[in-house]
Amino acid sequence: MSVSDAPAAVDEARLWRRHMSLAEIGATAKGGVDRQALSEEEARARALLAEWASELGYAVSVDGISNLFIRREGTDPALAPVLTGSHIDSQPTGGKFDGAYGVLAGIEALQALDEAGIETARPIETVAWLNEEGSRFAPGMMGSEAFAGLRPFDEIAAVADRGGTSVADDLPRAFAATPGAERRGIGFPVAAFVEAHIEQGPALERAGIPIGVVTGIQGVRRMRVRVTGEEAHAGTTPKSARRDALWEAARMVDALQRRIHRDDEHRFTVGMMEIRPNVPSVVAAEVLFSIDIRHPDSDTLARLEAEVDGICRNSLVACDVETWTIAQAPSIWFDDGVVDTIESAAVDLELGNMRLFSGAGHDARQLSFVCPTGMIFVPCEKGISHNEAENASPADLADGARVLAETLVRLANG
């Protein structure tokens, strides 16, 4: 198929500059960003997106959960829009590109369409979904889950961070960041969703291929384990009389590593542990820890989840344990039509490409339940992500934005 004029109008330097400007908000000493959901920093990032959007003449709107939309009008405004985008929140020790790339590539694509003088029948909207990462308010993917009707607003609004501040408490900060934005209800008909993202793994870089055509996303279970023991004096309490929650939690983590983290196909992470009272001379009375399990096969994932409670109980010595699941998602496969559209855009642009299955979770998972959905990956340096050292090349980011722009033209006129 012939290529529209949009990809040639993608401006590599402009796209890179916007990444660097956004990365100043919440910048960390090690070169990454800390821009957690509904923080002051995230609000400033929202304001910057809205400023860019109004300079370009696009309407900005926010829905009831503070998903932010930037709309380039179609020749038939009544048609359901094509959506693109990702998230601008980050992990506390996050990088400049995870999430930000999908939003900035979306803005770049809209601007490229303008500069190429392209009209589309459908409107195209670039969205920044609320709280993809879930490190402050867990679990994440809040904006896309609400949009797709997978999780009720009231349940999301009640989620609190470690300091006791709830989503409902801090939502006004997000709304205040874009005072001129039109308010919309949560969820509306969408013709298709395409999310651009850095790969967050090493496959593209190793293969020397600039474009990943993503076929789906592996499933995940997010769990919590609470081990309850009893405070006791470190100097006077004999081992036989202790109910040491930290030692027993450590036994559990080790047993889970051996039983669940069987090989490289299984992904098992204990990334968070809270210890009470967390002082050197008192035996720990309570430990709360997180479990993140991923596997491409949904049945295997369900089996692994079911094993967790027994493994923890078998590790007990004198404490009690409680396990529960806070989020579960099966593996999903993207829409063949959208996957093929992305792939043919890359082929027609003569950009090397390969099909990939995503190990990381993305908002595209939630959207796949309500509209035809796909994703475009670009390489990132050494596959490093969820790390302040995360990096990507301006040329690769621009190539991904070219494929995105062409894909959007085809979907919005298809």
Interface residue list for ligand GLV (CB under 6 A)? 133, 360-361
Separation between Cα atoms, residue 274 and residue 50, nearest integer Å? 37
Shortest distance in whole angstroms from residue 252 CB to ligand GLV:
22
Residue 99 touching Mn ion (CB under 5 A): yes
Which amino acid is it at 156? Answer: I
Q: Which helix (H) or strand (E) holds 145?
A: helix 142-147
Cβ(384)–Cβ(391) below 8 Å: yes
Kindly write out the interface string for residues 40-69 of this chain, putting x where it contacts Mn ion by CB under 5 A and - elsewhere: ------------------------------
Q: Which is nearer to ligand GLV, 6 or 364 (CB)?
A: 364
* N-to-C CA span, the chain: 13
Residue 378, CA distances (Å) to 16, 203, 352, 399 in order: 14, 10, 11, 8
Strands (E), 277-363: 286-295, 320-329, 332-333, 353-358
Alpha-carbon Rg for the chain, nearest whole angstrom, is 23
Residue among 34, 41, 98, 199 that touches Mn ion (CB under 5 A): 98
Q: Which is nearer to Mn ion, 141 or 211 (CB)?
A: 141
Residue 400 touching Mn ion (CB under 5 A): no
Shortest distance in whole angstroms from residue 269 CB to ligand GLV:
9
Q: Which is nearer to Mn ion, 98 or 343 (CB)?
A: 98
Q: How many CB atoms lie within 10 A of CB 166?
A: 15
Query: Which of Mn ion, ligand GLV, none binds 139 (CB below 5-8 Å, type-dependent)?
Result: none
Q: Which is nearer to Mn ion, 99 or 143 (CB)?
A: 99
> What angle separates helix 167-177 from helix 40-55, to the nearest 10 degrees?
30
Separation between Cα atoms, residue 268 and residue 251, nearest integer Å? 16
Query: Which of Mn ion, ligand GLV, none binds 205 (CB below 5-8 Å, type-dependent)?
Result: none
Query: Which of ligand GLV, Mn ion, none binds 361 (CB below 5-8 Å, type-dependent)?
Result: ligand GLV
Separation between Cα atoms, residue 210 and residue 6, nearest integer Å? 19
Query: Which of Mn ion, ligand GLV, none binds 74 (CB below 5-8 Å, type-dependent)?
Result: none
Q: Which is nearer to ligand GLV, 283 or 375 (CB)?
A: 375
Q: Which is nearer to ligand GLV, 72 or 197 (CB)?
A: 197
Shortest distance in whole angstroms from residue 344 CB to ligand GLV:
28
Q: Which is nearer to Mn ion, 98 or 145 (CB)?
A: 98
Separation between Cα atoms, residue 398 and residue 174, nearest integer Å? 29
Residue 201 touching Mn ion (CB under 5 A): no
Q: Which helix (H) or strand (E) holds 21?
A: helix 12-23
User: 70 has which bridge partners?
Assistant: 60, 126
Q: Which is nearer to ligand GLV, 125 or 390 (CB)?
A: 390
Shortest distance in whole angstroms from residue 361 CB to ligand GLV:
3
| Sequence-separated (6 or more) residues with CB below 8 Å from residue 367 | 83, 144, 147, 148, 190, 193, 195, 373
Q: How many residues bind Mn ion (CB under 5 A)?
A: 2
Separation between Cα atoms, residue 333 and residue 336, nearest integer Å? 9
Give the interface segment with Mn ion, choosing from 95-103, 154-162, 272-280, 283-291 (CB under 5 A).
Answer: 95-103
Shortest distance in whole angstroms from residue 61 CB to Mn ion:
22
Q: Which is nearer to ligand GLV, 71 or 96 (CB)?
A: 96
Residue 106 touching Mn ion (CB under 5 A): no
Query: Which of Mn ion, ligand GLV, none binds 99 (CB below 5-8 Å, type-dependent)?
Result: Mn ion
The residue number whose beta carbon is nearest to ligand GLV equals 361
User: What does the block give as tokens for 240?
Assistant: 């036989």
Cis peptide before 277 (omega within 30 of 0): yes
Query: Which of Mn ion, ligand GLV, none binds 286 (CB below 5-8 Å, type-dependent)?
Result: none
Which amino acid is it at 153? Answer: F
- Give the footprint of Mn ion on this chain (CB under 5 A): 98-99
